[in-house]
Amino acid sequence: MNNFKTEQEAFWAGEFGDQYINRNTGEKLLASNIHLFSKALKNAGNISSLIEFGANIGMNLKAIKTLYPDCNLKGIEINQQAAQELQNVIGSENVINDSIYHIQMEETFDVVLIKGVMIHLHPDMLALTYQKLYDHAAKYILIAEYYNPVPVEITYRGHQERLYKRDFAGEFLDKFKDCILVDYGFVYRKDPAFPQDDVTWFLIKK
């Protein structure tokens, strides 16, 4: 798995992606994730299957597993070290260690989740990513990213072309006219109880 289409893929598959693992773990993050998903998925009802695009070590899936213990969970993760740790959360048979762009599968899920991932993708690859989200969703797509009404690039830990903000959900809805916005919300980084990194989430129904 090294036939990358973009520099961003190699960046996250390599050493920087390894370092990211240690910065994004812990019980406080898990608690914040449980709080976020309890709100973001409330209107999705009783979901039985979910796949996360860019699952890392499974902090989001751990939270969802707590809320939906009978839900069939699967994760796609480009970084090999993170994918190995993810196996401990959802089982090796449910982990796909590959780029989002490369995945080829027929399976659909009640919910397709992407959180804090599209902000790091090359803008030219967003159309393909939106298509993958759409194709593998049977009912809902949950997008949780940094929001900005117009596309902007931001320096990320000293690196250029590694972080972007834009209206991902709005672009998705413009592309797929059979989808509707069900709910949305924002979680502030300075929330006194359950902070997130200024995440805006959108629950979309297919």
pLDDT for 87-116, tens place per residue? Answer: 999 999 999 999 999 999 999 999 999 999
To the nearest whole number, what is the mean pLDDT of the chain? 91
With cut-offs at 50, 70 and 90, classify the pLDDT of residue 19: low
Distance of CA 196 to the CA centre of its chain: 14
With cut-offs at 50, 70 and 90, classify the pLDDT of residue 180: very high
Print burial letters for 172-206: b (CB count within 10 Å at least 16), e (below 16). bbeebeebeebbeeebeeeeeebbbeebbbbbbee
With a cut of 60, say whether residue 17 has pLDDT above it.
Answer: no
Percentage above 90 pLDDT, the chain: 81
CATH 3.30.70.20 fits 7-205, yes or no: no
With a cut of 90, say whether residue 41 has pLDDT above it.
Answer: yes
User: Quick one: 170 exposed, middle or buried, by C-beta within 10 A (0-12, 13-18, 19+)?
Assistant: middle
Judge whether 52 and 76 are in contact, CB under 8 Å.
yes
Q: For 152-170, what is each residue's pLDDT tens digit?
A: 998 876 666 678 999 999 9
Q: Output the pTM of the full model.
A: 0.92
Q: Average pLDDT of 45-72? A: 97
